[in-house]
Amino acid sequence: MNLKKKPGLDLSGSFISLLWRWRGSLYKLCYKELICFLVPFGIVSVIYRQALNSEQKSLFEQVVRYCDRYLNMIPLSFILGFYVTIIATRWWQQCMALPWPDRLMLTIAMYIPGCDKESKLLRKTLMQNCNLMAVLVFRSISESVRTRLKSLEDVVNAGFMTYAEMETFKAVEADVNLYWLPGLWFSHRLREAQARGRIIDSYGAQLIMKELLEFRSKCGILWSYDWVSIPLVYTQVVTLSTYSFVIACIFGRQYTDNGSTDISIDVYFPLWTVLQILFYMGLLKVAEHMINPYGEDDEDFDLSYLLNRHSEVINLGTNILTSDRCPPMEDENLRGAPGMHTPKNLDRTSLKHRFSQTLTGL
């Protein structure tokens, strides 16, 4: 969820307004686990107060003290913090590895000029080959893209691949992922274009190949992240530690008549224990959602939108917005020309007023 795109949400003011959001929120991720904690906690508390005699209460209080001592034995904050740090770093690196064809498109527009039909077709075909590598990789790693493009026929119908390219792709028999094959077609067509003099100089061909290799490298990084995951044993350690902490809290945080605490605010409702469980469980849920950012969760990468965006940009940059559509240079439109005034003082709304407007719009 892109917070900056939410109407009425001003991130330059206060984060308090974010507490009222449900989609992708802490409450949505943890409410089931919290209910599963509160219901047994309440049942045990009622049994202790109403159903046990003095001897049974004494035995129950020993169990409470034992579980409370166990809660302090596990360094859960350290285990969770280190695990979430690894997952968040991995998540951000995958975000930065998403391939974007813009640089390659601008390089091709520079070194393969021309407004004729052949030049436009060459530029668009090269960029479509490049984008097809991303399509094939996204089909391999993303559930949402795989659901949308179940077969190569769907890829053809979506406009990412031609029928002839599909037949050529299917004719290759290999046990490896062939997402790089369109890059090979790109290289062949670029070499033919250079032999026919469609590229203005040899250095331009080198720059185009450099950008293609950068694009292919990012596709390979995404595929490698999907291939090599976080070790299962570490995920099991973190998950078992967190859930065992919650189970121990059902007994260890119970109020007892002979307890050592003088605080009575949590006699019937364990307020601070609930907050502690929310924080710990929230960190675990964050890691669970970020460990695979290619799914269909609220915060996962929208790769289907990214493919549509790349296709539209490629069509605009190689076929429509050619050099004959470039606007002329005019001195009077430059910044600082007479008649253009920049306001010196910008009106700024106070933090209190912005926060009131945000709450009103909820």
pLDDT for 294 equals: 87
* Residue 99 and residue 215 in contact, taking contact as beta carbons nearer than 8 Å: yes
pLDDT for 27 equals: 80
Which tens digits make up the pLDDT trace of 4-28? 455 444 444 456 777 777 776 778 8
Residue 133: count of CB within 10 angstroms of its CB: 26
pLDDT for 153 equals: 94
pLDDT for 182 equals: 95
Instruction: Please state the domain extents for the chain.
Output: 102-228+310-323
Q: Which of 211, 216, 232, 246 is nearest to 67 (CA)?
A: 246
Side chain identity, residue 141: I
H runs (alpha helix) in 112-201: 117-141, 143-148, 152-157, 163-171, 181-195
pLDDT for 129 equals: 95
pLDDT for 162 equals: 93
For the chain, what's the residue count? 362
pLDDT for 269 equals: 81
In whole angstroms, what is the distance from residue 103 CA to residue 105 CA?
Answer: 5
- Reading the block at residue 300, the tokens are 């996962």
pLDDT for 163 equals: 94
Spans of the chain below 50 pLDDT: 4, 7-13, 261, 263, 351-352, 355, 359, 362
Q: Euclidean distance between the first and final Cα of the chain, in Å?
A: 17
